[in-house]
A = this chain, B = another copy of it.
Amino acid sequence: MRLSELSRTAGVPRSTIKFYLRQGLLPAGDAQARNQALYSAKHVERLELIRALREVAGLPLDAIGRVTRELDRGWQGDAFGEAMRAIDARTPHARARRASPELDALRSEVDAVLRAQPWSVDDPRHAHVDEIAATLLEVRKRLHPDYPVASLARYAEIAWQLSEAEYALVPGGAPAPIEARGDDLAEPMRRAIVGSVLFERIFTALRRRANAMRSIRIARGLDVPPAR
């Protein structure tokens, strides 16, 4: 399809598409006559991924460029991890993190506790140890000076349980892993990133609800049903 049709199909203005092409967010089309190129369904999918990264993940253009560069590397790239790290990096608490020997020591301990989980995989890109250690340092500074790193194990078990439920609840079944899909990456990546972001929000709200209602039950002397 030509640029005008790509614009209509994806619902993205021609000027924006041209900008994405110049920035390398969108791969060039098949060159035809002078000033003419043909675009494919892959370009539509890439535009939809870019929109999701802006609208759902809230990423700025430079971070989106890092995600699409990973996508250009095919299944050996790490577009998903890059997106997750970019989302984390934009939070005020991530920007406030400072290196310290105390944090380094805690990071090793956190890493050891989490690696001991039977589902752990040796892949630092998805380990999230930095965020967890930095937050645990805040817990110790502001709440419990001796908060034990070992307590993370129980949180990790529940995270694995949630993950099991999340995969089981995907309508139509969990999708085939990205690596099994050849080069058809933009759309599964969009679905993975959007799903991760939206269900994170849903679960966060449910956790807040559960904790608030547990507090209310305790305060009012109501029974507190055991978890199933």
Contacts and interface: CB of A to CB of B under 8 A. Distances in A.
Interface of A: 52, 56, 58, 80-81, 84, 88, 92-93, 114, 118-121, 123, 126-128, 131-132, 135-136, 138-139, 142-144, 146-148, 151-152, 154-167, 169-172, 174, 177-180, 191-192, 194-196, 198-220, 222, 224-228
> Copy number in this complex?
2
Contacts of A155: 162, 165, 169, 199, 202-203, 206
Given A191-B143, A225-B119, A126 B159 contact: no
Given A156-B206, A210-B163, A151 B138 contact: no
22 contacts: A58-B93, A81-B212, A114-B209, A119-B213, A123-B213, A126-B209, A126-B216, A128-B206, A128-B208, A143-B194, A146-B171, A152-B202, A155-B169, A155-B199, A155-B203, A159-B207, A163-B211, A163-B227, A177-B218, A179-B220, A203-B207, A204-B204
A87 to B, nearest CB: 9
Contacts of A128: 205-206, 208-209
DSSP class of A's interface residues: helix, strand, loop or mixed?
A: helix
